[in-house]
Amino acid sequence: MSNRYVIILAAGKGTRMKSRLYKVLHPVAGKAMVDHVLTQVEKVQPDMIETVIGNGADKVKELLGDRTKYALQSEQLGTGHAVLQTEKDLGDKDGITLVATGDTPLFTAATFEKLFDFHEKEGAAATILTAHADDPFGYGRIVRDGNGNVEKIVEQKDASRSEQEIQEINTGVICFDNKLLFENLHNVKNDNAQGEYYLPDVISMLKEQGKKVSAYEMADLSESMGVNDRVALSKAEKIMQTRINEQHMRDGVTIVDPDNTYIDVDVEIGNDTVIEPNVKIFGSTKIGSECIIGSGSRISDSEIQDNVEVISSTIENAIMHKGSNVGPNSHLRPNAEIGRDVHIGNFCEIKNAKIGDRTKVGHLSYVGDATLGTDINVGCGVVFVNYDGVKKWHSNIGDHSFIGSNSNIVAPVEMSDHSFIAAGSTITNDIPKHAMAIARQRQTNKEDFWNRLPLSNSEDWE
Ligand code: UD1
Ligand code: CA
């Protein structure tokens, strides 16, 4: 097998996106488009990957790190000019170079691999990955001669009327004999409608030199979709979403309404988990087996272990251990760690807090900056008062303790094991083991109060 190289073009600004974010950094299913391309390219394990950067170069580099080499194209003079910037690293190499663009997020490694293999088998100087498009507008068209052999690629803006009717398009992915590619790139001209140096012009040049040019038509057009504007971005998102959801379903996840379920590409979900409609799962979230993720939930960058139930809740950067549950309508914020078989009920907010196994926080509570032990009962409406206006303070609650409803725990407080807080207390001091703290005014009943009221005899007061 010859050496294999990949060049990813990602220097363009993406004017048609009308965005402050550079085009190739726009996410599809939570991952930047150029990252999708690189991820698939990596699976092919080429001998070298080089990404051409320009607009937003620092941001692209920051994102992709040392997974690829880089070449800087400081002025964007076209795709041919872009490829030429890699000459320093690649120009003298023997082998096959696949050029891909950073705005085609749906390609799979399998397709790249097939193209490499086909190109090598054909012994071609260049092989274009083509597809049939019902609406080919915007793409370069594949012009073939009377014998069906590829003659050239003509861009939308340069195409004659009859060429515009051609529905076979250049997907933007082309394999080249590496040396021939660089030899010819120097002679590409920019005398076209856009005044750019087009990479596809190398195709007609190779033809004129009598070299073999092949085309490999892919069956699935959707894979090759290029994203130039937000309409295409939403279509790509939809296709990617369908692909992701179908994969999870094949792996044993029940997705009740796949059209309304949004799962980022790197999310993991165990089998026999049920995802109800209108759920979003983002980032690096991992969900275990036999969980229920109820309608309206949003989960990002979190770990949800087996047998967990999440009902209409928002979870970010949090961990839920086995058998725990949350919701409806609760919010687990960063660094919330929910222990095994814990119950977090409705309208609770947990932030930077650890909740020990089997503890219950049933209703309307805020737990911020606290460590709760095991088997604790937190009554309704308990507030961990963690902020004094300047600094956040931490409280610790011992195992098997009981916090009465509507209590305020003004941090920092140490509450020992097996201790109690009477309902309605505002706790500012530590509580020793086995004690009960009451920190509220005692109730007094004003006897016979009714009869002392001036109006008590009028009929209105009956
Ligand atoms: C390109 C192809 C077209 C193909 C389509 C497939 C050319 C001339 N046209 O058109 O035949 O059908 O892709 O999606 O190749 N880029 C640079 N430097 C530049 C110009 C572009 O790095 O100077 C990068 C862009 O960031 C982008 C990619 O190359 O990722 C493609 O550029 P774009 O302007 O989107 O080309 P298309 O018009 O889509
Ligand atoms: Ca494009």
Same domain for 206 and 234: no
In the block, which residue shows the tokens 């196994």? 357
Instruction: Looking at the CA of residue 34, tell me the nearest atom of ligand 1.
Output: 30
The domain total for the chain is 2
The answer to the question of residue 173 being in a domain is: yes
Whether 363 is a known active-site residue: answer yes
Interval 207-240: pLDDT, tens: 999 999 999 999 888 899 999 999 999 999 999 9
In a shared domain, residues 98 and 236:
no
Kindly state whether residues 258 and 378 are assigned to the same domain.
Answer: yes
Domain boundary among 224, 247, 276: 224
From 170, 190, 224, give the residue that closes a domain.
224
- Structural domain includes residue 462: no
Residues 213 and 268 in one domain: no
Query: Is the domain of 55 the same as that of 113?
Result: yes
Q: Are residues 213 and 338 in the same domain?
A: no
Residue 9 is assigned to a ligand binding site: yes
Q: How far apart are CA 61 and CA 366, in angstroms?
A: 41
Same domain, 169 and 284: no
Which residues hold their Cβ within 5 A of ligand 2, which is an ion? 103, 226, 228
Answer yes or no: is the C-beta of 98 below 6 A from any ligand 1 atom.
no
The boundaries of the domain holding residue 15 are: 4-224
Regions of the chain with pLDDT less than 70: 456-462
> Each residue of 97-127: pLDDT tens digit?
999 999 999 999 999 999 999 999 999 999 9
Atom number of ligand 1 nearest to Cα 155:
11
Cβ atoms of 405 and 423 within 8 Å: the answer is yes
For residue 273, the domain's CATH number is 2.160.10.10
State the catalytic residue, choosing from 36, 321, 363, 418. Answer: 363
Residue ranges with strand state E in 155-235: 168-177, 213-217
240 and 206 share one domain: no
- State the CATH number of the domain containing residue 120: 3.90.550.10
At 235, list the tokens. Answer: 């279509």
Identify any residues that bridge with 8 across adjacent strands, giving them in sequence order. Answer: 51, 100
In a domain, 448, yes or no: no
Does residue 459 belong to any structural domain of this protein? no
Q: Is 81 in the pocket of ligand 1 (CB under 6 A)?
A: yes
**Is there a single domain that holds both residue 112 and residue 234?**
no
Number of neighbours of residue 322 by Cβ within 10 angstroms:
17
Q: Is the CB of 401 within 6 Å of ligand 1? A: no
The pairing of strands 436-437 and 426-427 is: unpaired
CB 33 within 8 A of CB 105: yes
pLDDT of residue 226: 93
> What's the predicted TM-score (pTM) here?
0.92
